[in-house]
Amino acid sequence: MNMSTILELLKNRLFLIACIIAIASGIMLIMISFGETMFIAFGAIMLIIGFVLLISGYITPIVSESKIGMAVAAFLLLGAIMAIIGIISLPVNDEIAYPLLIGGPVVTILASLAWPCVCCQGSKAIRAQIIGIASAHDQITITELSNLTGAAVKLTSEIVYDAIGKRELSGRMEGATFIRTAPSTTSYAAPSTTTREREIVKVLVICPYCGAKTEQGIGKCQNCQADL
């Protein structure tokens, strides 16, 4: 496994890593609380938030591995690191430690409040974006799609394959490249019709009185009204 693969893996797992660090910082806060209710409460909150986000991030990789997910992960990491630094500096300098011990959980709470909206809207938006970009290209690689949308390569590939299977995308995969094809159309031949022509012959009768021509079968002349 080369360095680029490791970095890609870490980037894709950044959200889950941030959640684990948040859990660890919550446990540390509870352990060094010295019986203070505020620290116990903050530690418990960070612990619960970390577990909830860890589970939700694991079951919704389409969001947690996206750029939006990484932004939320950055705030989670910031809050956890602030809390950990506060814990470490507590025996040395209270003036630095207390703001960090309070600020860390606050940042974590703010990140957790944004997550439900991001999770609900982000998954649909990212999927629609991937399908839309793929549909707009005659051919495009999974890596290019990943770079354009910000979703992980593996996740992008799964969405494309799923969309092809559900016929949301018209095309096929050749290796790591999606090739768009025109949707198939079924043509129906119009039924053949036969036209028959019928010739109608009219017989005219000449009136013996005025010489006008009248159609046969009519009892009187149309001109002089004489009986025919």
> Per-domain residue ranges for the chain?
10-180
- The confidence score (pLDDT) of residue 1 equals 60
Write down the pTM of the prediction: 0.58
Tokens of 219: 């009892």
pLDDT at residue 8 above 60?
Answer: yes
Residue 110: per-residue pLDDT: 92
Q: What is the mean pLDDT of residues 98-107?
A: 91
Q: Hey, CA dihedral for 131, 135, 139, 140, is it positive or negative?
A: negative
Task: Please provide residue 171's backbone torsions phi and psi, each rounded to the nearest 5 degrees.
Answer: 170, -165
Task: Give the model's confidence band at 189: pLDDT under 50 very low, under 70 low, under 90 confident, else very high.
Answer: low
* Planar angle of CA 85, 89, 91, nearest 5 degrees: 145
Q: Is 187 helix (H, G, I), strand (E, B) or coil?
A: coil
Q: Percent helix, strand, coil in the chain (nearest 5)? A: 60, 10, 30
Whether residue 119 is predicted with pLDDT greater than 90 in this model: the reply is no
For a pLDDT cut of 90, what percent of the chain falls above it?
A: 25
Q: How many CA atoms lie within 13 A of 116 on its CB side?
A: 5
pLDDT band with cut points at 50, 70 and 90 for residue 26: very high
Question: Does residue 199 have a pLDDT over 90?
Answer: no
- Using a 10 angstrom Cβ sphere, with 0-12 exposed, 13-18 middle and 19 or more buried, the burial of residue 85 is middle
DSSP E strand boundaries for the chain: 139-141, 171-174, 177-180, 204-206, 213-215
Structure-model confidence comparison of residues 37 and 3, the more confident one: 37
CB contact at 8 A, 100 and 86: yes
- The pLDDT assigned to 194 comes to 63
The CA–CA distances, whole Å, from 42 to 25, 29, 49, 63, 81 equal: 10, 7, 10, 27, 14
127-161, pLDDT tens digit by residue? 888 888 888 888 999 988 888 887 778 888 888 99
